[in-house]
């Protein structure tokens, strides 16, 4: 949601005199809120002249819904991981692949004058062809950066007034967007795996034995790789950047009973 609002928080309009000289520059404020909140503001101050922290024109936006995006589904068992130092030991922080969702947003531009509305739109529409993509660090703990497209769907205007026909009340531009986002689960922490222990059974009913295979890294004290477990330093002292080798041990073990 913060990404969407950030896209439109740097919009300005210029006021000009009869000779088309700039006499005032206004930053268009943006806030989160549904359309009826903006309409309530306009109804209480029809001429948009009341001085307060939000001036005319004004932009607001809201999230209107989300839909699961099956066409962007990722392998759910894949992990994003990073090694962290907890002080006493090194551990791994990880999160599984995110779930893709299309998130719908509506952007509302409230103006008193038609020209103000077109000046705001001129600073938005040229950048969506029809999408604008931002690279976002979605999970700072894991340094996960992903491209998030924001696609414009439609642009509509509403001209409302009360009283005489020539008495303009306010103009509202509604821009609808779809953000192709992702939902991550919680970040987990686990120990670094340095030993794989696997049992192979050829026949659970007939054979009285099974094969036990262990795999772990091997490294000599001088930094050279080794496949000899009796010569290797402790596996917990080996880091991923060392030039280690695989120590593979196979034992045949009798089944109990």
Each residue's pLDDT tens digit, 38-70: 555 555 555 545 544 445 689 999 999 999 999
**46 Cβ contact partners less than 8 Å away, ≥ 6 residues apart:** 162, 169, 170
Higher-scoring residue by pLDDT: 192, 206: 192
What angle (nearest 5°) sits at the alpha carbon of residue 158, between those of residues 154 and 162? 170
194-to-16, 223, 234, 235 alpha-carbon distances in Å: 70, 17, 10, 7
- Rg, C-alpha atoms of the chain: 31
Closest to 229 (Cα-Cα) out of 239, 244, 240: 244
Contact 97, 80 (CB under 8 A): yes
The arithmetic mean of pLDDT across residues 118-135, rounded, is 93
CATH C-level class of 2-188: alpha beta
CATH 3.30.2000.40 domain extents, the chain:
2-188
Query: Looking at residue 53, what is its pLDDT?
Result: 40
> What is d(CA 195, CA 217) in angstroms, rounded to the nearest whole number?
8
Q: Is the pLDDT at 98 greater than 80, yes or no? A: yes
pTM of the complete model beyond 0.75: no
Which is more confident, 5 or 84? Answer: 5
Asked whether residue 95 carries a pLDDT value surpassing 60, the answer given is yes
Question: In Å, how far from its chain's centre is CA 31?
Answer: 20
Task: Record the tokens describing residue 37, joined without a space.
Answer: 């909140």
User: What letters, b where the CB count within 10 A reaches 16 and e where it falls short, cover 186-202?
Assistant: ebeeeebeeeeeeeeee
Per DSSP, 186 falls in state: -
Output the six-digit token pair for 59: 């932009």
pLDDT, tens digit (0-9, with 9 covering 90-100), for 109-125 = 988 888 889 999 999 99
Q: Are 117 and 111 in contact (CB under 8 A)?
A: yes
The percent of residues above 90 in pLDDT, for the chain, comes to: 39
């Amino acid at each position: 949601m913060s990404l969407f609002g950030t896209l439109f928080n740097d919009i300005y309009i210029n006021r000009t005199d009869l000779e088309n000289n700039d006499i005032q520059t206004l930053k268009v404020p943006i806030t989160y809120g549904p359309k009826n909140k903006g309409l309530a503001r306009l109804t209480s101050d029809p001429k948009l002249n009341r001085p307060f922290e939000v001036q005319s024109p004004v932009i607001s936006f809201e999230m209107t819904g989300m839909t699961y995006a099956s066409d962007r589904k990722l392998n759910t068992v894949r992990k994003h991981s990073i090694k962290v130092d907890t002080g006493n030991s090194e551990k791994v922080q990880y999160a599984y692949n995110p779930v893709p969702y299309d998130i719908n947003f509506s952007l509302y531009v409230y103006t008193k004058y038609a020209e103000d509305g077109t000046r705001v739109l001129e600073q938005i529409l040229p950048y969506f062809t029809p999408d604008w993509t931002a690279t976002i660090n979605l999970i700072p703990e894991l340094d996960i950066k992903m491209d998030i497209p924001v696609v414009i769907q439609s642009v509509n205007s509403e001209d409302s007034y009360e009283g005489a026909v020539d008495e303009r009340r306010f103009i509202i531009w509604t821009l609808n967007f779809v953000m192709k986002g992702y939902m991550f689960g919680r970040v987990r922490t686990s120990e670094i795996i340095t030993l794989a222990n696997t049992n192979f059974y050829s026949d659970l009913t007939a054979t009285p034995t099974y094969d036990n295979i262990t795999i772990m890294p091997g490294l000599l004290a001088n930094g050279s790789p080794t496949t000899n477990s009796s010569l290797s330093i402790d596996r917990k002292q080996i880091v991923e950047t060392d030039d280690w080798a695989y120590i593979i041990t196979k034992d045949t073990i009798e089944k109990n009973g």
